[in-house]
Chain A
């Protein structure tokens, strides 16, 4: 993605040249020939740059091998096929000198290859002086002609060979262990070594490859011209370096692609051809090249330094939302009026728990809840006085649910969905979905699994609050309020599928009592929707609750056939007004520290009960905010309500009003006869 910036600039440059300069179709041939020879050098240089080094001696190696192949052929009469094999070997031998010095002796790549640049050029001079008189004999070999002027399926041989090598190099660099090791070494040598990569071997191999490719390019060059002198390849290193940097290969290592380097080579060759067509002095080309190289080197440096900041600036883009009317909960004697019915709920795990978003109770009455440190606590029933850490998830445990086999499913922010077995071990259920086809952003990971529930067929419905931010950055979603979330189904066979995409912060998920639909709460849009999963309306989404006075969070079934839901925050007039001002919210995120951002009123605890048809039956509050300043989930179990809060230091257990008691087992997946192999009994 980030290489797109220099590359697109390079493309614009070349298009501009093609438009401004009368380049004809005849120039295409010479451009292709040039690209084929120098392109091989560009591939080699890219590999070395990706490995974190630099190779300036490629031009000299090309010169030496070009001479050597001619000498082998004309002077010593070595069979031509052997010469074709020997050319890259000679190049590789020279490359090995570089590799040995840099990888083993650990000299600086720049100075080493600068020295070898001169040294190899000296070798070429010596060869020329020694053999020049004997090189004038014309060649009679067919292979020589084939390499220079022949074609493969209509494509000039050098170009065809270049394309083949390009494809192989690209695949090796991006798809092979060798390529990955090389990239790792280039981006961070120390980390690469600590991860067990043989850094010396990787670096050495890069120089060998670069030398071999330069050697092969030398063979092609001498075949093309039918002669060679010590001046062949002079100044190529700077042309190739410019091309590679134009192609977006980073000079600081670790980032780059040979395909893009080849495109850069095209651009440079077009510039070169343009100067030839315009009959400009060679000095112009060199100057132009220097300017381009300087510009792109600076761009590469600055881009490397600022790309993360730049990406961060682009990543948050608040949206404008038309919000519905706001119910005033402070008006006395209404259904919504603030009350203190949650205040006196006795605490569970006070001082032990740090932020349980949700909890689950097994049929032994033991309670399980998450913690911001990634733990799952278990509190012994029935009084829940004693607690211990039962499992460790490694992420932020959020929603809990029981699967058909009576195991605990936990949506873990940062980790996906995990299943916790009776012995406290965790196993991964899913952490990936198929990547969206036309999205720049890689949304294949389940980053922020928030809540989940199990459908009668055993598939798990998971809400992903946002596919862009992590669970630790939930406040960004409050500010951005864009459809970044989705609802994911994990089928019983483990495959995953996105069932609702582009949904604004989906949070609570609850299977309906009849098992035919899934309720999804949209936190950012203050609503609850129903997704039909069977029956005549299968696949359709329809609203259940709209324009709620708060930001809905988790939902769970109640024993009397209704549903419990909690609000993570309440809307305020200002938070509603700011929804109309995305530019202001963007400014807020840029100019103010996170602590100063305006958010909805999060310091409240509000719980409500609603029916399948979307009628709100009752609303419970802790108006003092002393004990339960936030309630993010409410679970009913055998006559008690369990209050969890992702910022609370406790859970609460509230005796249920007799009028609320029903006969439905809230733990059981609707319409199933769940195997009641108890969680706690399996442990014994």
Chain B
């Protein structure tokens, strides 16, 4: 609707116009510094862990760049080089299913051998998350039909709504939902329903795959961040939030001309959109609240990057959350895995794996 019309309508009937607003991080999302005090697992540099899985024996594997690595003490050894950016991983019994941009789903066996699992056109690109219901029955979320997994910011800028969910089983791959706003995480509930996190609509919803026509029920709506991967744990589901919402960004997204100019004239890393980490202070946009006053950057300043993992309970509420706020360094959390009583998160923004013991 035209903005002026919307303003007039709002004047006449304030309740009829819903404006985008970023709710405060409250209740279960109350901010803390737990991620900043977590133990880093990788002391060697050069990794950028994106997704992390643990095999049945507790071996932690993570993806970084176009390879899959096994965590060995304080460093990691390469399990397989997959020839393209690894955009997601999941464990299926004793093997790892990995999504490779431009290649499809591949299977990595315990001995490190790799073979194709599914190369259907539907899952060739931009697989953001994989969830295995039973061995042989997999559901994957596709962020966008038109971009690769690294195109999140560009899709955000032009309002891309071409995400989908694809089911893969013995009959092959077929799409079960279309036209979604960058679905970025999938996980099954015990009853077979599917939890889906939608990045661009800031919500987590529950879908019934056996009745695809039924409308999804919303579990969490209007989250103050862009939710990402979902992994089931003992008490519920762990959800990673790689990006945090920013009111100024949403204002920019509401200015189509400005968005076009940004896409055309400004490098992607310099856009006023959420990022996994601060790359280049001298070129990135700044918001006034981020001003260092007397040497201090306030933790509640508007965030460009943020670290957040939270536990979604079986009751559909946020039970607890782990944060790294503005001024912290453990930003851009993309992967999570629960190993026994430990939680291991892949902080892509911080380029490290973090361990949170004794939860």
Q: Which A residues form the contact surface with B (CB < 8 A)?
A: 328-330, 338, 354-355, 475, 570, 572-575, 577-578, 580-581, 584, 587-588, 591-604, 625-627, 629-630, 647-650
Contacts and interface: CB of A to CB of B under 8 A. Distances in A.
B293 A647 contact: yes
Contacts of A475: 288
A572 B294 contact: no
A625 B281 contact: yes
A683 to B, nearest CB: 30
Given A574-B285, A649-B294, 5 more contacts: A573-B266, A575-B286, A577-B262, A595-B302, A627-B295
Contact of A588 (B251, B262, B267, B293): B251
Interface of B: 246-248, 251-252, 255, 257-258, 261-262, 265-267, 270-272, 280-295, 297, 301-302
B298 to A, nearest CB: 9
Nearest to B272: A574
B285 A595 contact: no
For A328, A577, A584, which residue has the most chain B Cβ atoms within 10 angstroms? A577
A650 B295 CA distance: 9
A172 B282 CA distance: 61
Given A581-B255, A587-B251, A629-B292, A572 B284 contact: yes
Contacts of A575: 285-286
A602 B283 contact: no
Given A574-B270, A601-B284, A588 B248 contact: yes
A575 B290 CA distance: 15
A338 B282 CA distance: 9
A355 to B, nearest CB: 7
A577 B258 contact: yes
Nearest to B295: A649
B268 to A, nearest CB: 11
Contacts of B284: 572, 574, 601
Contact of B265 (A354, A577, A597, A601): A577
B281 A577 contact: no
Nearest to A629: B292
A602 B265 contact: no
- From DSSP, what is the main secondary structure of chain A's interface residues? loop
A572 B270 contact: yes
Contacts of B246: 596
14 contacts: A573-B270, A574-B266, A577-B262, A595-B288, A595-B302, A597-B288, A598-B285, A599-B287, A601-B281, A601-B286, A602-B288, A603-B292, A630-B292, A649-B294
A594 B288 contact: yes
Contacts of B262: 574, 577
Nearest to B269: A573
A229 B266 CA distance: 84
B6 to A, nearest CB: 13
Contact of A596 (B255, B270, B287, B297): B287
B287 A595 contact: yes
A603 B270 contact: no
B339 to A, nearest CB: 37
B282 A330 contact: yes
Shortest 4 CB-CB contacts between residues of A and residues of B: A595-B289, A574-B285, A649-B294, A629-B292
Contact of B248 (A592, A627, A647): A592
B248 A597 contact: yes
A354 B295 CA distance: 10
B255 to A, nearest CB: 5
A330 B272 CA distance: 19
Contacts of B258: 577-578, 581, 584
Contacts of A591: 251
Contacts of A596: 246-248, 287-289, 302
A575 B281 CA distance: 13
Contacts of A570: 282
A599 B266 CA distance: 16
Contacts of B295: 626-627, 629, 648-650
Contacts of B294: 354-355, 647-649
Max count, chain B CB within 10 A of own CB: residue among A354, A475, A600, A649? A649
A595 B301 contact: yes
Contact of A572 (B247, B248, B251, B283): B283
A570 B266 CA distance: 16
B292 A647 contact: yes
Contacts of A338: 282
Nearest to A595: B289
A328 B294 CA distance: 27
Given A573-B266, A604-B281, A597 B291 contact: no
Given A577-B258, A597-B288, A592 B283 contact: no
A580 B261 contact: yes
Contacts of B285: 572-575, 598, 601
Contacts of B252: 584
B269 to A, nearest CB: 10
B291 A602 contact: yes
A594 B284 CA distance: 19
Contact of B267 (A573, A598, A602): A573
Contacts of A588: 248, 251
Nearest to B294: A649
Nearest to B302: A596
Contacts of A629: 292, 295
A603 B261 CA distance: 25
A577 B266 contact: yes
Contact of A328 (B281, B283, B302): B283
A603 B287 contact: no
A354 B293 CA distance: 9
A355 B294 CA distance: 7
B265 A330 contact: no
A354 B294 CA distance: 7
B58 to A, nearest CB: 40
Q: Which of B251, B271, B286, B297 has the most A CB atoms < 10 Å from its CB?
A: B286
A511 B259 CA distance: 44
Contacts of B281: 601, 603-604, 625
Given A330-B283, A572-B284, A594-B288, A581 B293 contact: no
Nearest to A336: B282
Given A574-B271, A584-B255, A598 B287 contact: yes
Contacts of A597: 248, 287-288
A600 B290 CA distance: 11
B257, B258, B261, most chain A CB atoms within 10 A: B258
Given A475-B288, A587-B251, A588-B248, A604 B271 contact: no
Given A355-B294, A647-B292, A600 B282 contact: no
A597 B289 CA distance: 8
B277 to A, nearest CB: 16
Contacts of B251: 584, 587-588, 591-592
Contact of A577 (B247, B248, B261, B297): B261
Contacts of A647: 291-294
A600 B247 CA distance: 17
A602 B297 CA distance: 12
A601 B282 contact: yes
Contacts of A581: 255, 257-258
A631 to B, nearest CB: 12
B248 to A, nearest CB: 5
Given A577-B266, A580-B261, A592 B286 contact: no
A330 B287 contact: no
B304 to A, nearest CB: 11
Contact of B291 (A574, A603, A626): A603
